[in-house]
Chain A
C-alpha cells in the first residue's frame, strides 16, 4: 500500500490505450501547476511518469474500521478487505485513496485493490511502448479528482456527478456525490443501456438528475446520458488529454486520493532508489541533529565547567595570597577568613598609613584660629584620629556652631550641646563626636 510521494521535478502523465498515446507534462511554476502537451519522446528513462490502471482491472471499496485511527485502519486494511474481495488478498496489491469519518466516528477509507496479474499485464503493455511508469494510478479516481479540479461543485449542481471518458472502444465513468467518490465502471462504447444499468448499480437507486462531465477523445460526439439521468452536461477543455492531465497533476501534487498500485516488489527501481535516498537523507538529518545536540550540550557544559574552574582557581590564588597561607576553607567561609586575616593585619600595620593621612595639625591650628576669632574660651580640647571633644564658652551660640562646622568639615560627625547658662551670660557648650569613620 503506497501513496504517491511528492517532488519538485516535472511529471508526465501518460494515457496509452487503443493504440494512441497522450502525454501531458505538469510542473510547478511560481506556486502554480503549469500543464503542457508533450510527446512520447519526453518519456525518457529519467522522466517521472504516471500511467493508469484501467477501471476494469481494479475494484474500489469503502471500508469502515471499528475504531477511529486512520493509521491503524491502514495497517489492518488487508484484514478488513479480505472478506469482501472476489479474489485472494495475497494475489492483490491495495492502496488507500480517501479518508473520512463514519457517523459514529469510526475511520472509513477508500481502498483500491488490483490483482498482481493485472498490474503486471498493464506494466508489460506500457513497457511495450517504452513507458516504465513510476506511478501506476487508478483510472477511475484520476478521472474523478480531475473532474473536481476542473469543474468544482457549484451550489446549483445536482448532487450526483458522473465523469465520463469516451474512448473509441468503451466508455469509462467515475461516479460520486458532490465530492465523495462512489465507484467507477466501464461500458462498451455507445451502449447507453449498459451505461444506465451500471449507473443504477453504483447509485443504488432510481435515476436522478446528474452533472455529466464529458471527457476523453470522443467527448464531442459520445452519447450523452439517458433522459432519466439528464441534468447538466459539461465538456472538459482538451478532453482527449483529460486523463493524462489528471495523472500528471496527481503525481505532481499528491493528495489523500493519490494511489500508486506499482508498489512492493513491482516498484520502479528509480523510485525505490529515490525513496531509499530520501530515507537515508532523512536518517542523516536525524543523525546530524543528534550529533549537533550532543556537541552543543557538551560544548555548553564544557564552557560552563571551564569558566567555573577558572573562577575557582583565581579565587584560591587570591585567597591564599591575601591570607598569606593556603586557605582550606571554601567560598564564603574563605572570604570571611581572609577578611578577618586582612583586617587583623591592617590593624597591625595601620601605622604605615599614618604618614600619608591628613595631619591633625591642620584641624588643631584651625580650631585655635576659630576660637580666637569667635571669642571662644576653651576649657578642654581633645583631638584624636577618631574623636574630638571640646568644652568651653562662647559669646554667642553661633560661635560654638563655627567650631562644630569646622570639625564636621574635617570628616567627623560632631554633636553640639548647650550647657547650663553661666552668670556672665556666655553660652556654655560641649562638642562631642562619634567615632571617626576613617
Chain B
C-alpha cells in the first residue's frame, strides 16, 4: 500500500511531469506560432541576399575587366598618330582633340576625336580598324586597344560614301601606380 511519503513522492513526480508537459506544450505552441512569421522573414531576407548577389555579379564584370587589363604586358595604348602614319590610305584629320578622364586604380580614359573634312567613310573605318588592332601582336593582346565608340558621317551630295566624317576612339592607360 502507499505510504504517505510515497504518495507525496508520486504527487510531486506527477506535478513535475504535468508542469513539464504544460511548459513543453506552451513553448512548442509559441515556437510553432512564431515559426510561421519567422519563415516569412527568412524568405524575405534570402530574397534580399539574392538581390545583393545579383548586384555583386554585375559589379564583378568590371573587376574582371580591370584584372584583365592589369594583366597585359603593357598598359599604355599604341601611339595613334603612329598608327595613322603607318596606314598609308588613312586620310589626315582636319582636327584632332584628346581628353583624359581619371578612373580608379591609376587608370585614365583617353578619348581621341578625329574630324575629317572630306574623306571616304571606308578609309576612315580602315584607320579605326588599324587603331583597334594596335593592341595586338602575334602573341595576342599586349596593350590596351583603341576602340571606336562613335562615328558621325555627313554625306557629300552626289558622292556616295564620301563626306565629312568624325570618329571617336577610346583607350585605357595606366598612368601611375595607384
Contact = CB atoms under 8 A, between A and B. Distances in A.
Interface of A: 264-265, 267, 269, 272, 276, 279-280, 283-284, 286-287, 289-294, 296-298, 300-301, 304, 307-308, 311-312, 314-315, 318-319, 321-322, 331-332, 334-335, 338-339, 342, 345-346, 348-357, 359-361, 364-365, 368, 371-372, 377-385, 392
Contacts of A291: 20, 24
A380 B165 CA distance: 10
> Top 5 nearest A-B pairs by Cβ distance?
A293-B24, A290-B20, A290-B21, A287-B17, A290-B24
5 contacts: A279-B14, A290-B25, A301-B35, A315-B48, A331-B44
Contacts of B6: 276
A269 B24 CA distance: 35
B86 interface: no
A438 to B, nearest CB: 11
B41 to A, nearest CB: 7
Given A296-B28, A346-B62, 6 more contacts: A290-B17, A338-B52, A351-B172, A361-B129, A383-B151, A392-B155
B65 interface: yes
B92 interface: no
A368 B121 contact: yes
Contacts of B25: 290, 293
B65 A294 contact: no
A111 to B, nearest CB: 23
B69 A352 contact: yes
A136 to B, nearest CB: 15
A397 to B, nearest CB: 19
A284 B17 contact: yes
Contacts of A345: 59, 62
Nearest to B61: A353
A265 B1 contact: yes
B143 to A, nearest CB: 10
A323 B150 CA distance: 32
B21 A286 contact: yes
Nearest to B145: A355
What does DSSP make chain A's interface, helix, strand, loop or mixed?
A: helix
B172 A361 contact: no
B174 to A, nearest CB: 11
Given A300-B35, A368-B125, A380-B154, A294 B23 contact: yes
Contact of A349 (B53, B104, B155): B104
Given A287-B17, A331-B48, A348 B103 contact: yes
Interface of B: 1-2, 6, 10, 13-14, 16-25, 27-28, 30-32, 34-35, 38-39, 41-42, 44-46, 48-49, 51-53, 55-56, 58-59, 61-62, 65-66, 68-69, 101, 103-104, 107, 109, 121-122, 125, 128-129, 132, 135, 144-145, 147-155, 160-161, 170-172
A356 B65 contact: yes
Nearest to B131: A361
Nearest to B121: A368
A352 B65 contact: yes
B125 A361 contact: yes
Given A287-B16, A297-B28, A318 B49 contact: yes
Contact of B107 (A286, A352, A364): A352
Contacts of A334: 48
A162 B17 CA distance: 49
B20 A294 contact: yes
Nearest to B18: A286
B49 A314 contact: yes
B95 to A, nearest CB: 18
A354 B24 contact: no
A355 B172 contact: yes
Given A311-B42, A351-B170, A355-B65, A289 B24 contact: yes
Contacts of B154: 379-380
B45 A315 contact: yes
Contacts of A308: 38, 41-42, 45
A300 B21 CA distance: 17
